[in-house]
Structure 1
Amino acid sequence: MDTTKKGGIPLHWLMLIGFVIGLGAGLYVNQYIGPETPWVLWLTSNVTGPAGQIFLRLLFMLVIPLLFSALVVGVAEMGDLQSLGRAGIKTLLLTIVVSSIAVVIGLAMVNYFRPGDGVDPALAQQLLAQGADGARGIVENAPTSIKLGDFFLDLIPSNVFTAAADNQILPVMIFALFFGIGLVMAKSPNTDRLQNVIEGLLEVTMKLINMVIKLAPIAIACLMFNLAALFGWDLMMRLAAFVGVAVGAMAIHMFVVYPLVVWIGGKMNPITFFKGVREPMVVAFSTASSNASLPVSLKAAEQELKLPRKIARFVLTVGATANQNGTALFEGVTVLFLAQFFQIELTVTQQVVVMLVCILGGVGTAGVPAGSLPVIAMILVMVGVPAEGIGLVLGVDRFLDMCRTVLNVTGDLVLATVVSRGEKDEPVPPASSPEPEPAVATVA
């Protein structure tokens, strides 16, 4: 209940109020005062900017222990490797299918509406120079190609602590997956006590994140003020067509594909589903982070959707990094938009390559704000589009990041709903769990 109300007002309404106040104040400053005014520069650099970043850092500080403990506990609660394998295969297949549909929708929308056509070449070069500085760090750090063998090799951490220190989420999750499997295989009083410790870590981490999320309304107001005050409407208007196509494609996937998957695959009323996931959607929109939204998603899955806890924990923790439908869609739309912007026609073969890399990139993208930008830069290099062009979308990326994160988080909950449907033995563990606990307590 900590994340639902604050001072008697539901938290998602406070977040919306913070969003509106920050956006309105920022646009007023941009239009009538000027972003270069000394006190505005001081405010965005020393107050609103750091306030928003502190909120995000508090969340990211807790992401690694949350992901590790939630995934280990989710796997261990499966009880046997057969149910774990069944849930894992369903999750993987559904991720590939739904992500493919998302990318196809995005590419079809860009090819039909062609938002990047008709740009004055001189303006294109001017904007490219304008965005080059902001994009330089992303381009320099982006890989120049993608190798399937290296991708799978990088999934296995040679040192899990180094991977955690470098914020390499996927290798840490692979270690947590193996650790959870080990707990299932090596069942003993000692491993039971270890599992209890990890469950305690999960509870503490979720409690801390719930406390941090109470700061969200203030942080959202600060983040939106900075965005609106510094960029105003100029860059947003230039990229209005791009934003419209991207949001339109996401809306189709959200309100057409997801309801069909929930209805057909999960046998749940889509209206009931969306009513149950309102809070994770708002948190995802405000934080632009799948990982930061994970505790709220876990709570909604268990309390609102009434999904089995062990399936919800497994699918949602894996999905926070591996099921990025919105990210895959956004990457495809951005690459094709920039190709059109610089008058570079991509063949059907090149677009198929873009689609495949976007699906793979959606699986490997970190669930943090702007985590997809290095992947986009890599794809641009592969298809011969100036990678510095990514700087053009940086001004509106925050808003689109918020939108695609909503799609990612909702997709994780869709996935959990469908995977849960086939698990007929879900109600059994809660009924039998009170019996072993006294035995463990007496041994201790």
Structure 2
Amino acid sequence: MLKSLSVRVLVALVAGLLLGAAAAEFGGPLVRAGVENFEAVGSLWLNALRMTVIPLLFSVLVVGVAGVADAAATGRLALKAIGWFAAFLLVGCAWTLAFGHGFYALWPVDPGAATALAAAAPPPPAEVAATPTFGDFLKGLAPTNPIKAAAEDAILPLVVFAIAFAFALTRLPETRRLALTGLFQSIADAMVVIVRWVLWAAPVGVFALCLGVGLRAGVGAAGVIGHYIVAVVLAQVGVIAIAAAVAMAWGRGPAGLWLRALAPVQATAVATQSSLACLPAMIEESRRIGLPERVVGLVLPLAVSVFKLTSPVANLAVALFVAQVYGVEPSALQFASAVVIALAVSVASIGLPGQVSFFMSVGPICLALGLPLDLLPILIAVEVVPDIFRTIGNVTGDMAVTSLVARDQPLEAQTPTAAAA
């Protein structure tokens, strides 16, 4: 059981909180000083993660956006599918922002518990309180110096530059385009290797960070972590319900038949926590209910490649929780920036390992909102529960778009299984 990194990190989180609380209760000044010094190990580990965010983000954006542009060039069905992908992702972002504000209005994060959880992290930057004007927002979209933007963690202009660069690559001759996308793919792969090395030490890093939290606030921080899990899971459940409702209302065939086809796919998602591993089940079930083969063969592989319904939903939900912990209310323009980044990284993070994807996806959103990243390693420790719903939502979105694209396609002969259903 302890061979699982997620389990080891979770054990480290609990042990850090308990031992930190014990040090606060029973330890003397020397013990407290020792714990505070050991926190530097956690800060070192966090910095090692942070150093990969900018190069990884830029590289996967270039490769991911160029790949979507190539897919869109394959034909009308692909364009229609990408249109549905974009519509669902936008609705998901709008839902998450609305849900988050309503959820925390009804069930706010306990201030004492929030202070406890943030005890090992610095306060949010002072510039969060400054609301930029719309003119400042527009001027900041295009970086005068992309390298300076990267150095200053100016994520939105960097994302705009990466997207423009990726689309420009698609206009180059194939040989030169493939050479450059191959270069950035190699950079992204190298960053993933570094992140895997850093994550190998995650139990030590999380233990050091949580030791400080436990020292300052005891185990009271555990309750706010449970609050976080409920918030992120409910945000994803909401968008899953939206996608299913749209597919049942406007998709191909009877709603009940589609739901029966979806059930085994979702069960596979729970077992594997991998959208790619669910692809064979999605293809089989879509064929079984008589969806056109040309739609199934194009849309489902494309969806698994470039579409993650719950990625922006869950990532924005995490950032909203971090904002609640620090008592920060970002401006409307900051939320707009966060949505743009969430949509971009939802495409860019396709194919990355779960824990790598978590930090790379949520980190830029938090930076856009002016929030520190220091809580993210602690939240990674409990990501195993929200991650199940991420996969359920992703396969639901894939099946929904396939049914919607198939709606106006010519009928094909049903298999005997589909006819019997």
**Do they superpose with TM above 0.5?**
yes
Aligned to 2:53: 63
- Paired with 2:153 and 2:307, the residues of 1 have a C-alpha distance of 21
Aligned to 2:155: 169
- Residues 21 and 218 in structure 2, CA contact (< 8 A), matched pair in contact too: yes
Which residues of 2 match residues 201-216 of structure 1 at below 5 A? 201-216=187-202
2:95 maps to amino acid: I
- Residues 13 and 378 in structure 2, CA contact (< 8 A), matched pair in contact too: no
- Residues 95 and 323 in structure 1, CA contact (< 8 A), matched pair in contact too: no
1:180-232 alpha-carbon deviations (Å, 9 max, x no partner): 21221213322222222222222222222222211112212212112111222
The one of 272, 276, 284 aligned to 1:276: 272
Q: Tell me, yes or no, if structure 1 residue 194 matches structure 2 residue 184.
A: no
Query: SS at 1:209's partner residue?
Result: helix
- Residues 74 and 313 in structure 1, CA contact (< 8 A), matched pair in contact too: no
Distance 1:51 1:150, change over 3 A: same
Distance 1:402 1:218, change over 3 A: closer
Q: Tell me, yes or no, if structure 1 residue 252 matches structure 2 residue 252.
A: no
Q: Tell me, yes or no, if structure 1 residue 53 matches structure 2 residue 43.
A: yes
Which residues of 2 match residues 7-156 of structure 1 at below 5 A? 9-33=3-27, 37-45=29-37, 47=38, 49-78=39-68, 79=70, 81-82=72-73, 90=84, 92-112=86-106, 138=124, 140-156=126-142
Which residues of 2 match residues 374-385 of structure 1 at below 5 A? none
1:150-187 alpha-carbon deviations (Å, 9 max, x no partner): 33432222211111111222222222212221221213
- Paired with 1:406 and 1:226, the residues of 2 have a C-alpha distance of 24
- Paired with 1:149 and 1:400, the residues of 2 have a C-alpha distance of 35
1:227-259 alpha-carbon deviations (Å, 9 max, x no partner): 11122257x59xx6x7776654434224x3254
Query: SS at 1:138's partner residue?
Result: coil
The one of 354, 360, 364 aligned to 2:336: 360
Distance 1:420 1:61, change over 3 A: farther
1:138-161 alpha-carbon deviations (Å, 9 max, x no partner): 363224224344334322222111
The one of 354, 363, 366 aligned to 1:371: 366
- Residues 65 and 201 in structure 1, CA contact (< 8 A), matched pair in contact too: yes
- Paired with 2:374 and 2:149, the residues of 1 have a C-alpha distance of 31
Distance 1:334 1:195, change over 3 A: closer
Instruction: In structure 2, list runs of 5 or more residues that go unmatched.
Output: 248-257, 283-299, 343-360, 404-421
- Residues 52 and 195 in structure 2, CA contact (< 8 A), matched pair in contact too: yes
Percent pairwise identity: 19
1:153 maps to amino acid: K
Aligned to 1:224: 210
- Paired with 2:267 and 2:10, the residues of 1 have a C-alpha distance of 22
1:77 maps to amino acid: G
* C-alpha deviation, 1:406, in angstroms: 7.6
Aligned length: 345
Query: SS at 1:145's partner residue?
Result: coil
* C-alpha deviation, 1:419, in angstroms: 6.0
Aligned to 2:144: 158
1:51 maps to amino acid: V
Q: Tell me, yes or no, if structure 1 residue 418 matches structure 2 residue 392.
A: no
Distance 1:188 1:108, change over 3 A: closer
1:272 maps to amino acid: T
- Residues 76 and 181 in structure 1, CA contact (< 8 A), matched pair in contact too: yes
- Paired with 2:26 and 2:109, the residues of 1 have a C-alpha distance of 30
1:103-139 alpha-carbon deviations (Å, 9 max, x no partner): 43344344445778xx9xxx9xxx99x9xx9999636
* C-alpha deviation, 1:404, in angstroms: 8.9
Distance 1:213 1:367, change over 3 A: same
Distance 1:302 1:404, change over 3 A: closer
Distance 1:74 1:303, change over 3 A: farther
Q: Give the TM-score, by structure 1 length.
A: 0.60
- Residues 134 and 333 in structure 2, CA contact (< 8 A), matched pair in contact too: no
- Residues 315 and 416 in structure 1, CA contact (< 8 A), matched pair in contact too: no
1:44 maps to amino acid: E
Aligned to 2:348: none
Query: SS at 2:130's partner residue?
Result: coil
* C-alpha deviation, 1:100, in angstroms: 3.0
- Paired with 2:384 and 2:21, the residues of 1 have a C-alpha distance of 24
Distance 1:175 1:85, change over 3 A: farther
Distance 1:407 1:77, change over 3 A: same
2:238 maps to amino acid: V
2:136 maps to amino acid: D
- Paired with 1:402 and 1:98, the residues of 2 have a C-alpha distance of 25
- Paired with 2:65 and 2:374, the residues of 1 have a C-alpha distance of 40
